[in-house]
Amino acid sequence: MGRINAKITTAILIALALLMLFPLMLTVTNSFMSSREINDNYTSYDEEDKGKFFSIKLIPNSVTLRQYYDVLIAKHKFLRMFWNSVFVVLPIVAGQVIISSMAAFVFAKLNFRGRDFLFFIYIIIMMMPFQVTLVPNYITLDKLGLIDKYSSIIFPGVFGAFGVFLLRQFMMTIPNECIEAAKVDGCSLIQIFFKIILPLSKGGIASQAILSFIDNANMVEQPLIFLKDANKYPLSIYLSRINNAELGIAFAAGIIYMLPMLLMFLYGENYLVEGISHSVIDEGVEKGEYI
């Protein structure tokens, strides 16, 4: 009976996995179809076509790389937006890693008045959606003259609260004995941070960098609101601007857009799992001593 239940459970999980992977499979196979074949398969129906089944085709009649050629070579808009994304996302990720690691060290290992209340404020900010702080952010950036500049997206993104929360929880698991031994050897706080905390926190830092890259590579609201020049839009805006006549390009662009994030996840999967698992600290570690 138990073996039968296991087989049923396995079959259900396989079916659910295939259901979740179906949009990805559809995108991959359709990216190798010609524009004419895609338009024939996905022609929109009008009112007279109600009741008809919508056909979805997975296997192309003839494989072609024309869509990828159009995206990468023939149309310069994709590559321009790609480099726009690079100029925006990489500084945000680098800035978040630097600032979040230093702030997390302070919250995790230093004891000062108001520390817990200040960290509570960080948690509140982390839980707020972007729309809540949109108006004050826009007014502040406008007063600073940063609207329609990449810095209007980079500066607010660098000071994200989630990275501080994640790394603080990770650093709480680092034994204080390591820090006390370093203090006995005459290390300053800066030396402790660079020689003890950072090397022991590389898993958490890698996790934070991966999550930050994925999150900021998919941003949509910030560029649309803070950037007035469409030529400065990042790649995340590209897919939303493709019309019905460019469905083939949409499939190819979706695959290319997904590859960097997929490769980063596959490369850093172990770091990601380690960082998240170590960030779930128990009560005993939470009540540890501070330096």
Digit-coded pLDDT (tens) for 229-244: 888 898 888 777 776 6
Query: Which tokens hold the place of 273?
Result: 């799992």
According to the model, what pLDDT value does residue 280 have? 56
Mean pLDDT of 245-249: 73
Instruction: Judge whether residue 20 has pLDDT over 80.
Output: yes
- pLDDT for 279 equals 58
Q: Which CATH number fits domain 32-42+60-286: 3.40.50.2000, 1.10.3720.10, 2.60.40.10, 1.10.150.530?
A: 1.10.3720.10
Task: Label residue 99 by pLDDT band (50, 70, 90).
Answer: very high
* Structure tokens belonging to residue 224: 């649309």
pTM above threshold 0.85: no
What confidence score (pLDDT) does residue 203 get? 84
Per-residue pLDDT at 60: 77
The long-range contacts involving 278-283, CB below 8 angstroms and separated by at least 24 positions, are 278/169, 278/170, 278/173, 278/203, 278/204, 279/166, 279/169, 279/170, 279/204, 279/207, 280/169, 281/169, 281/172, 281/173
Could you give the count of Cα atoms lying within 13 Å of 127 in the half-sphere of its Cβ? 6
- 164-218 per-position pLDDT tens digit: 888 888 888 888 888 888 888 888 888 888 888 888 888 888 888 888 888 888 8
Whether residue 151 has pLDDT greater than 60: yes
- pLDDT of the residue at 28: 86
Quickly state the pLDDT bin for 285 (edges 50, 70, 90).
very low
The mean-pLDDT minimum among 113-127, 214-228, 233-247 falls in 233-247
Write the pLDDT tens digit of every residue in 52-91: 555 677 777 778 888 888 888 877 788 888 889 889 999 9
pLDDT surpassing 70 at residue 291: no
Q: How far is CA 290 from CA 48, 110, 165, 171, 287, in A?
A: 72, 5, 17, 12, 9
pLDDT value of residue 47? 47
Longest dimension (CA), the chain: 82
What's 8-35 look like in SS3? HHHHHHHHHHHHHHHHHHHHHHHCCCCH
Among 101-115, 151-165, 183-197, 254-268, the range scoring the smallest mean pLDDT is 254-268
Percent of the chain with pLDDT over 70: 86
- The mean pLDDT value for 31-39 works out to 79
Residue 143 clears pLDDT 70, i.e. is over it: yes
Q: Quick one: what percent of the chain has pLDDT higher than 90?
A: 10
Task: Report the distance separating Cα 31 and Cα 22, nearest Å.
Answer: 14
What's the pLDDT at 187? Answer: 84
Domain regions of the chain by residue span: 32-42+60-286
Q: How confident is the model at residue 287 (pLDDT cuts 50, 70, 90)?
A: very low
